[in-house]
Amino acid sequence: MAGGVIYGGVEGGGTKFDCIVGTGPNDITASVRIPTTTAVETLAAAAGFFADQEVAALGVATFGPLDLDPSSATYGEVISSTKAGWSGANVAGTLGTAMGVPVAFDTDVNGAALGEERWGSGQGLDPLLYVTVGTGIGGGGIVNGAPLHGLVHPEMGHIRVPRHPEDSFAGNCPYHGDCLEGLAAGPAIAERWGRPGEDLGGDTDAAVALEAHYLGVAMATLALVISPQRIILGGGVLEMPGLLEATIRAMEKSLGGYAPPIAEDSAGYLVPPGLGSKSGVLGALVLAEGASGL
């Protein structure tokens, strides 16, 4: 970060918007958490927070799907969101106009990958992937020093995974049914077992084994397709006891020894975020730095 320059960061989620001012994890001068309600209310509250701050630029890392094409008439908008009232919300434009500063805009998971690459578990690693498992499942990455984009941004949570032979749950993704998100995100766990992951009691071990199967296969697939130097696996679902370790074993099983560098240190290849729950909002500061031109 440029000396003396302060940035603003926003991580937009389905339940909350986290906003910070600063330059990094050891220099946050102001912060606020705003409940995610309607787009109008939430973005107005975020703009109000930054109105009292002097920042050189703003980085926004938010849930999607998003239009990330700068040449598009709808650049900066949320598109086709399952979050009621957010489809078509002009997040980047609304905040940029209100604040009068440059705005960089990307997915929440690309933001998290940027934060982890700068300060967390991915320092010095490129390519790098960050995958989150929570209310939804998403993945982002850094390739050749930049967030991973394509025709659209990556949608790693919607890849198809082999169904576990003992799993009869149909899946709850509104688009694909039994894609990875439909089988393994937090709402899928709650619907399959009749209660959320933190309240499974005696079913915890069985749920962890099933969850690890789906996540392990997915991590092996991503490792083979993108060949990142490391995958960082975060999100609230990973708080289930033993899930990360079980997922590492399931990834190893799925790879079958095919990728020796991973097999030699699987626990060092699939790791938790070094920044905890702050990966995304700190990555937004990295986005802001790029937007400022300083």
For residue 268, give the CATH number of its domain: 3.30.420.40
**In terms of domains, do 248 and 284 share one?**
no
**In terms of domains, do 147 and 65 share one?**
no
Taking CA atoms, 221 is separated from 34, 53, 278, in Å, by 36, 43, 26
The answer to whether residue 19 scores a pLDDT higher than 60 is yes
Q: pLDDT at position 82, please?
A: 74
**In terms of domains, do 169 and 99 share one?**
no
pLDDT digits (tens, 9 = 90+) for 179-229: 999 999 999 999 999 998 889 999 999 999 999 999 999 999 999 999 999
Query: Do 273 and 121 form a contact (C-beta atoms < 8 A)?
Result: yes
Reported pTM: 0.94
CA-nearest of 260, 269, 266, 270 to 238 is 270
**In terms of domains, do 105 and 138 share one?**
no
87 domain residue, yes or no: yes
Helix axis angle, 39-51 to 91-99, nearest 10°: 30
**In terms of domains, do 127 and 103 share one?**
no
**In terms of domains, do 154 and 64 share one?**
no
- % of the chain residues with pLDDT over 70: 99
Q: Residue 1's pLDDT band (boundaries 50, 70, 90)?
A: low
Q: pLDDT at position 294, please?
A: 62
Q: How far apart are CA 234 and CA 189, in angstroms?
A: 16
Q: pLDDT at position 7, please?
A: 98
Tokens representing residue 111 in the block: 């933001």
**In terms of domains, do 96 and 54 share one?**
yes
**In terms of domains, do 84 and 137 share one?**
no
**In terms of domains, do 62 and 154 share one?**
no
2 domain residue, yes or no: no
Q: Where are the beta strands (DSSP E) in the chain?
A: 7-12, 16-24, 27-35, 58-62, 103-107, 128-133, 137-143, 146-147, 230-234, 270-271
Please state the rounded mean pLDDT for residues 260-280.
95
Q: Residue 30's pLDDT band (boundaries 50, 70, 90)?
A: very high
Q: pLDDT at position 3, please?
A: 61
116 domain residue, yes or no: no
Domain span at 256 = 122-272
29 domain residue, yes or no: yes
Assign 62 to helix, strand or coil.
strand
Please state the rounded mean pLDDT for residues 106-113.
97
**In terms of domains, do 67 and 130 share one?**
no
The answer to whether residue 292 scores a pLDDT higher than 90 is no
20 domain residue, yes or no: yes
**In terms of domains, do 45 and 159 share one?**
no
The answer to whether residue 9 scores a pLDDT higher than 70 is yes
**In terms of domains, do 150 and 219 share one?**
yes
**Which is it for strands 27-35 and 16-24: parallel, antiparallel or unpaired?**
antiparallel
pLDDT digits (tens, 9 = 90+) for 236-264: 999 999 999 999 999 999 999 999 999 89
Q: What mean pLDDT, rounded, does the chain reach?
A: 95
Q: pLDDT at position 171, please?
A: 97
Tokens representing residue 86 in the block: 């957010």
Number of domains in the chain: 2
pLDDT digits (tens, 9 = 90+) for 146-176: 999 988 899 999 999 999 999 999 999 999 9
